[in-house]
Structure 1
């Protein structure tokens, strides 16, 4: 029997479901989807509770339509159970990338171009991994960016070396397959293991 998958915008009233996806330990729980958004300098010194507070504020602001900030995330349900998360928002909202090689190396991009959206982070709940949910989340993220008026959408997946296993804590940025299936194509290779993929909308 095929599982029923539904992907919806993350909202304050779904907070308990968001936390169910992040779990009570591991990378998603500790990060609260804040490291790329806040940047290492601010993120590193925050407790998990403080990171969660920032996330809750982002969900609240996005729902209220506050200018300059979107909730920037979608939540996936499998047969009614919260199972996955993906962050997608204007690229300008992700502070960590402004000083990184990703996504700028070898490209001539305007860092202040809010028309380019970025899919930056995936989380899949234990028990739902390796079932293709990242593909559903990537496709939904692209659709959400398009519906929100994005001019382009990018992803920055990681690629394993030959015979190399990637730990789940690293694969949170995604792998090329789900992005390719969602219509993105590779535009650059800023590091040995990272790719920039893009779809102009």
Structure 2
């Protein structure tokens, strides 16, 4: 487990593009997807090219532009770029509109820009298995609230002891990570996924 005092989390626009690129790497799921699963046109993110997805992420993060809007947070461990979490207004993710996960059993307004969403984690090789998604999830709360969000949602996966989960499957995060941050389960749209939410107006 990474000691909390060794972890610093900053908005991606306060980080360098080289640091973000180092987190995503180039070889496995995060490096291929570039956090574009819910954004790219087409049936699946692989309908786009690697170059297109990388260019999209670079534009969305606005690295090195502290005054600009950005699409996520970067975690540093001992000064080294180590993790990423995507957090933006829910309407920034077009493909969330077409999936049942956020909407099953709810009459939620899909165009409500006051609701933000946490959609993706990426942890750099060499830093995985150290609990880095916990401080990243906690950091999304203040980040979203400071930018006017009144609620924050996540769509994590249920993990079970003894059952192996590939990193690609767990890019949305684990239920326990969000529960630890104070999110509450408000829906269970599929056997393996839950909808979790925190109302920011009542968070101290």
Structure 1 residue 163: Cα displacement? 3.6
Counterpart check, 1:27 vs 2:26: no
Q: In structure 1, list runs of 5 or more residues that go unmatched.
A: none
CA contact (8 A) 1:36 1:97 kept: yes
CA contact (8 A) 1:36 1:94 kept: yes
Q: Distance in 2 between matches of 1:175 and 1:13?
A: 26
SS, match of residue 187 in structure 1: strand
Q: 1:151 to 1:13 in 2, by over 3 A?
A: closer
Q: 1:11 to 1:32 in 2, by over 3 A?
A: same
SS, match of residue 103 in structure 1: coil
CA contact (8 A) 1:12 1:59 kept: no
Give the paired residue count. 198
CA contact (8 A) 1:87 1:122 kept: yes
Alignment correspondent of 2:105: 106
Q: Distance in 2 between matches of 1:64 and 1:134?
A: 23
Structure 1 residue 165: Cα displacement? 1.3
Q: 1:197 to 1:13 in 2, by over 3 A?
A: closer
Structure 1 residue 38: Cα displacement? 2.6
SS, match of residue 16 in structure 1: helix
Alignment correspondent of 1:94: 93
SS, match of residue 111 in structure 1: coil
CA contact (8 A) 1:12 1:56 kept: no
Q: Once the two structures are superposed, what CA deviation does each residue of 1:80-123 show, in whole Å capped at 9, x if it has no partner? A: 00000000000001112110011100111000000000000000
Q: Distance in 2 between matches of 1:188 and 1:149?
A: 24
CA RMSD of aligned residues (A): 2.2
Alignment correspondent of 1:128: 127
Structure 1 residue 44: Cα displacement? 2.8
Q: 1:180 to 1:164 in 2, by over 3 A?
A: same
Give TM-score, length-normalised by structure 2. Answer: 0.90
Q: Distance in 1 between matches of 2:27 and 2:63?
A: 26
Moved over 6 A (4+): none
SS, match of residue 132 in structure 1: coil
Counterpart check, 1:10 vs 2:9: no
Alignment correspondent of 1:54: 56
Q: In structure 2, list runs of 5 or more residues that go unmatched.
A: none
Q: 1:109 to 1:63 in 2, by over 3 A?
A: farther
Q: Distance in 1 between matches of 2:191 and 2:42?
A: 21
CA contact (8 A) 2:87 2:119 kept: yes
Structure 1 residue 65: Cα displacement? 6.1
Counterpart check, 1:197 vs 2:199: no
